[in-house]
Structure 1
């Protein structure tokens, strides 16, 4: 009887050992790359490939996308189930199509801008470095983002198209995917904080096997941002701030949880609608804004208006605001590239440290006396040119 008990125990131990060994063989080792702020994507190292997961490609998205990032050598000896993934991408990427100007700074910071072969609306690109590539014919014009020229794009045969979507319905991207060209929806713009948006450089780092470089770049941006925030906290004054302007009969302003509101809070400014929790922009009447902000100290980003003259022409009541009377209105609309692209829309998301310094310079000029703003400039008096 003792013999049978011993034999049973021996078989049980042996079975457990074999099961553990099998688990180690079939279960791949995984290691998630560090993200400090961004919530919309993940990069996980899985054996001989990386798994890129896009969790928030657009607001309120219920769709999660998964992509395999793998070298050509490893791809040749590895089989993946097609239904499990939304794309298999060979890395490092050699040819890419981007669809938003916000993607361009990441490519330049990682020094891979020469891999960009197509872009919709090249006139919107402000960067001199990428503009040179466009002018030299290295980057093809792909028409409008809403109706991208799929014929030219398919001719280019990029390794990947980095797109952005408002709701996931894009017929052009569906056509591209049917041609077996991977499409990744980049959700950097969905993130809620400036540093979270900037951290998407690590998304591009994964595509080019430049994770260490991407980490180093982001860490420096984060350091400079937090250092500027600390400088701003030393001010004993908090100027009141108004944003936006009327569009038809509605005044749109950033809500209190937006990245724009966080910039102002970190600049130690008193944004008058900082306590709002709405999703998206706040929509108010002129009267509601005027009642609260008539005597505000500063007015930032008055929509697309480029001068006091244009602002007054659109609505004579704007003259009644103290910021208008005192000429304390600032805009980024007039800071453009040589073909008219607004620099803020391209570089602002990637370099929140520069945006914050701009706001500190405007709100507390004594704290950054030698600093010259990158994006925000005083609103021009008129649009007349000599």
Structure 2
């Protein structure tokens, strides 16, 4: 089995596995695909460039693609794996230190992570998906529909069965950290480790190389890049001197996984800094560490003293009043934290599957411009004239409802997944009024800082409880590449909050 983790839903998934059948909702299109046919003895000419449309990597730092006439070399720069993709029917090339040789275009693929599945859907190659992991957590309506009739979930309760399922695929898109020795058809994708938000979305080009879908990937990513730049430019022009401070937070209740000791966390993933900055807001910095863990609620709250907006990513979803208690606030009327008094506490769980899977772990990775639009919407809710309703973020203080997606919401089972974003060029950004209630407590950013330094917190600089141990303050948490990958794997499979 690809992962050493066992899911509590595994037995249920095994029972839910549908028979393989075909769906007749639509016919898969070949538009935007190149070299869709295998070579034969009559056209097997190594001097002919089979891939005139190529993808160039602009932002992503964890993969590269090198093109040759009849094959491509795709490098995962994080795992140091090399995948040789050669046109079916052509002679298999010899590439030094190749991790896998995979004939293309792939017509039978599987994916363990929900993010990988969404990239395949965004490319419109979901007709080639044979198996999916964590199937009940899938939020995409059309992938849910395909899971009813065409795609078979991995039988995660039986490692032997999983191996057999994987062997029937041309390629298995997996995540590092597994213990399976059968890697001849495995390609690791680490889009969730990519530091920049646009770099994460650019992984669509990685997946496209396996399907000769470069034209589709280039067209999609160019539109994302252009729209993202428009949103960022407009937001930073309008909101340069009134930037609310945003903190990404997490509460972990006592459990066997943390020695029965609760902890509180502030996250500072690089991609989050990107979208907060580009949304015309400021990121609560964690003094250079990727995240800061607090062992007391007091230390945690002191760190949030100047925060205007909280985005809660706790593994478990709590009602607003219970969340405040978990954060150490029993009576919100007796505190003056801006994020409490204005009720600006959000959670990225607005879109869910019936099984509780979060859309947050799917489309936002692929569509950076839509994610930026959402961040602008919660940082500056009146950036459009009639107000903005976020796609993925739900206001807990307002008890906003969850939007449950089902297979019935799918209208075209084989169409390319549509980007949910608005066209930025058509939006007339509204100039903010500092006296508006939405900005209550937000300090004018006279220095134009893009980061609010958490080191200003007295609990870090000068703990007012002189008798307390160092554990009452902040604990820096730094993960090596493997640790990050493992946590990201758990996040993608179980729906846990990414760092």
- TM-score tier (shorter): 0.7 to 0.9
Q: Of the candidates 41, 45, 57, which is equivalent to residue 67 of structure 2?
A: 45
* Structure 2 CA distance for aligned equivalents of residues 189 and 328 of structure 1: 27
Query: 1:288 aligned to 2:299?
Result: yes
Name the CA shift for 1:37/1:112 in 2 (closer, same or farther; >3 Å). Answer: same
**Match of 1:203, SS?**
helix
Higher relative contact order (CA 8 A, sep 6+): 2
Query: 1:372 aligned to 2:389?
Result: yes
Query: 1:80 aligned to 2:97?
Result: no
User: Bigger CA drift: 320-329 or 341-350?
Assistant: 320-329
Q: Is the 8 A contact 1:189 1:197 kept in 2?
A: yes
* Structure 1 CA distance for aligned equivalents of residues 292 and 67 of structure 2: 41
**1:356 positional shift:** 1.0
**Match of 1:84, SS?**
coil
Deviations 1:36-88 (A, max 9, x none): 1001111111232111111113xxxxxx11111111121xx34536x731111
Matches within 5 A, 1:191-210: 191-210=194-213
Q: Where in structure 1 are there 5+ consecutive unaligned residues?
A: 1-24, 58-63
* Structure 1 CA distance for aligned equivalents of residues 108 and 359 of structure 2: 25
Deviations 1:214-261 (A, max 9, x none): 011011111111111112111231112222133243221122x62112
Q: Is the 8 A contact 2:155 2:161 kept in 1?
A: no
Matches within 5 A, 1:140-155: 140-144=152-156, 149-155=159-165
**Match of 1:241, SS?**
strand
* Structure 1 CA distance for aligned equivalents of residues 277 and 93 of structure 2: 50
Matches within 5 A, 1:68-147: 68-74=84-90, 77-80=91-94, 84-136=97-149, 138-144=150-156
* Structure 2 CA distance for aligned equivalents of residues 313 and 33 of structure 1: 50
Q: Which residue of 2 aligns with 1:11?
A: none
Q: Of the candidates 366, 374, 379, which is equivalent to residue 350 of structure 1?
A: 366
Q: Where in structure 2 are there 5+ consecutive unaligned residues?
A: 1-45, 254-261, 403-499
Name the CA shift for 1:103/1:384 in 2 (closer, same or farther; >3 Å). Answer: closer
TM-score, with length taken from structure 2: 0.62
Name the CA shift for 1:153/1:378 in 2 (closer, same or farther; >3 Å). Answer: same
Q: Is the 8 A contact 2:86 2:92 kept in 1?
A: no
Query: 1:245 aligned to 2:250?
Result: yes
Q: Which residue of 2 aligns with 1:221?
A: 224
Q: Which residue of 2 aligns with 1:271?
A: 283
Q: Which residue of 1 aligns with 2:428?
A: none
Name the CA shift for 1:287/1:123 in 2 (closer, same or farther; >3 Å). Answer: same
**Match of 2:243, SS?**
coil
Q: Which residue of 2 aligns with 1:317?
A: 329
Bigger share in helix: 1
Q: Is the 8 A contact 1:44 1:52 kept in 2?
A: yes
* Structure 2 CA distance for aligned equivalents of residues 265 and 377 of structure 1: 20
* Structure 1 CA distance for aligned equivalents of residues 124 and 70 of structure 2: 25
Q: Which residue of 2 aligns with 1:61?
A: none
Name the CA shift for 1:155/1:308 in 2 (closer, same or farther; >3 Å). Answer: closer
Name the CA shift for 1:232/1:204 in 2 (closer, same or farther; >3 Å). Answer: same
Q: Of the candidates 261, 268, 272, which is equivalent to residue 260 of structure 1?
A: 272
Deviations 1:151-178 (A, max 9, x none): 244246000101012xx4x22x32x33x
Q: Quick check: which has more Rg, 1 or 2?
A: 1
* Structure 1 CA distance for aligned equivalents of residues 197 and 99 of structure 2: 28
**Match of 2:391, SS?**
coil
Name the CA shift for 1:155/1:315 in 2 (closer, same or farther; >3 Å). Answer: closer
Name the CA shift for 1:150/1:183 in 2 (closer, same or farther; >3 Å). Answer: farther
Name the CA shift for 1:302/1:112 in 2 (closer, same or farther; >3 Å). Answer: closer
* Structure 1 CA distance for aligned equivalents of residues 287 and 328 of structure 2: 28
User: Bigger CA drift: 361-370 or 118-127?
Assistant: 361-370
* Structure 1 CA distance for aligned equivalents of residues 251 and 212 of structure 2: 45
Q: Is the 8 A contact 1:310 1:382 kept in 2?
A: no
**Match of 1:215, SS?**
helix
Query: 1:337 aligned to 2:353?
Result: yes
* Structure 2 CA distance for aligned equivalents of residues 151 and 334 of structure 1: 35
Name the CA shift for 1:143/1:301 in 2 (closer, same or farther; >3 Å). Answer: farther
Query: 1:160 aligned to 2:171?
Result: yes
Matches within 5 A, 1:175-194: 176-177=182-183, 181-194=184-197
TM-score, with length taken from structure 1: 0.79
